[in-house]
Homo-oligomer: A and B are copies of this chain.
């Protein structure tokens, strides 16, 4: 039985310095500071001492001393859902590639939660604060949000928005309207004529743009989509499932359904399957091209979005020099046709 060390304390920089026989300043220089001038001999002793003591820099102390923490904090609204949030995955990967400490803060779903989460994130003083997630067009908390973020930038932090177009910060946005339009053109070309759209909450910007783009695209092909063909619910699979049922109960012809995201498309697909394949098979298209759906049958026609490069772009923006005007980088997707929308006839 070894003596139980009753209450060890973490080794501090001072301990390392002492053991190495140098000053804290020197130890700091070799352990953290840019590899400036420290004589090789001392350098080695410090390194040895650090290893021997199992020294780990106290990041909090560094943050205090330096005035700003290292790393990226991603604020994602809502919980990580089952269809792995591709944005989060992309950012984690991108941050990892650059060796940046990554912190995920997930805010609740209420708009006010976001503001609160931003303030909490501010507390950590990360060098880059990224916000991801949809936003409501009529959100009353936007001024507060902008205010909090603005404050953060004024304090020297950086802010990058992903998906949150229209706010005065560097932004990576997806070409939602364009994608919707392209999808419409594609489906028309495949021979479909009677459409319905399964969309999310009325005021959500993302779904709204995708829906509008789709309608535009149909219009360009000479097709008018009656307003009652756009069904609205939550932005998720279950809502889509329910909405599809509602849609098919109506006495109308539908040969293709466009869901504004893949999760919802999955709901549609599942509903269609559950009710049994009746003769007139209905085509389904989504938006996002999330990987978790690649094994679904039938394979889903959707708008592919390059998540990884989008995340990379966001980091590039946020880590680069700050530009006087907010930059907006629009990421374009492209339609991928798969089995869920077979050519008609």
- Residues of A participating in the B interface, judged by any CB pair closer than 8 Å: 5, 7-10, 54, 56-61, 63-64, 69, 79-85, 88-89, 92-93, 96, 101-106, 108, 119-120, 122-125, 147-148, 151, 154-156, 237, 266, 269-270, 273, 290-292, 294-297
Flag if A92 contacts B120 (CB, 8 Å). no
- Please indicate the chain B residues that have their CB under 8 angstroms from the CB of A105 in the complex: 101-103
Instruction: List the number of copies, as a whole number.
Output: 2
- Please indicate the chain B residues that have their CB under 8 angstroms from the CB of A123 in the complex: 56-59
Closest to A124 in B: B59
Closest to A59 in B: B123
Flag if A92 contacts B64 (CB, 8 Å). no
- Please indicate the chain B residues that have their CB under 8 angstroms from the CB of A106 in the complex: 92, 96, 102
Say how far A127's CB is from chain B's closest CB, in angstroms: 13
Q: Which of B56, B89, B102 contacts A119 (CB 8 A)?
A: B56
Chain A facing B: main interface SS:
mixed
Say how far A123's CB is from chain B's closest CB, in angstroms: 4
Flag if B83 contacts A292 (CB, 8 Å). yes
Cα–Cα, bound, A148→B53 (Å): 11
- Please indicate the chain B residues that have their CB under 8 angstroms from the CB of A57 in the complex: 123
- 12 residue pairs of the A-B complex, CB under 8 angstroms, read A5-B154, A8-B151, A9-B155, A54-B148, A60-B61, A60-B124, A60-B125, A64-B64, A79-B89, A80-B89, A84-B292, A103-B105
- Please indicate the chain B residues that have their CB under 8 angstroms from the CB of A108 in the complex: 96
Q: Which of B61, B81, B147, B266 contacts A64 (CB 8 A)?
A: B61
Cα–Cα, bound, A28→B80 (Å): 34
Q: Which of A56, A58, A69, A294 has the most CB of B within 10 A?
A: A56
- Please indicate the chain B residues that have their CB under 8 angstroms from the CB of A119 in the complex: 56
Q: Are A291 and B82 CB-contacts (below 8 A) given A63-B60, A296-B296?
A: yes
